[in-house]
Amino acid sequence: FTGTSLTQARDSAWVMEPRGTASRHWAEQLCRQAGFEPDVRFETADLQAQIRLIESGHAVAVLPDLVWAGRAPGIRLLELHGEPRRTIFTAARHASASRPAVKASRDVLARAVEFV
């Protein structure tokens, strides 16, 4: 894909998360708002597999910036119109919130988001 906008990806093969996931629904709606139905030829929840399909020239995708946290992307990225953002949150029972594993997970997530 050599285009410079989402609309220009209209005729490309797409990789998306499986049907029924929130991220798949969001990506499909984004494409529909751009005036086309994506040709989803690959489905996987594994974002690293999606990246490999993109790197090999077999597909295009909408990926969250968080996948690049701490490293440079190995593919060309396009900004989406309106620069959409999402909210990431964690939830834990009050009694578990101070456990080392919960705190460590939240700390890692917070550090990763700083790079985005």
- Report pLDDT for 73: 86
CB 70 within 8 A of CB 112: yes
Model confidence over 26-84: pLDDT tens digits? 999 999 999 999 999 999 999 999 999 999 999 999 998 888 877 788 888 888 888 78
Residue 116 has pLDDT above 60, yes or no: no
What's the Cα-to-Cα distance from 58 to each of 13, 42, 61, 78, rounded to whole Å?
7, 9, 10, 17
Give the global pTM: 0.76
Report the pLDDT averaged over residues 106-111: 88
Q: Cα 57 from chain centroid? A: 17
- Report pLDDT for 46: 97
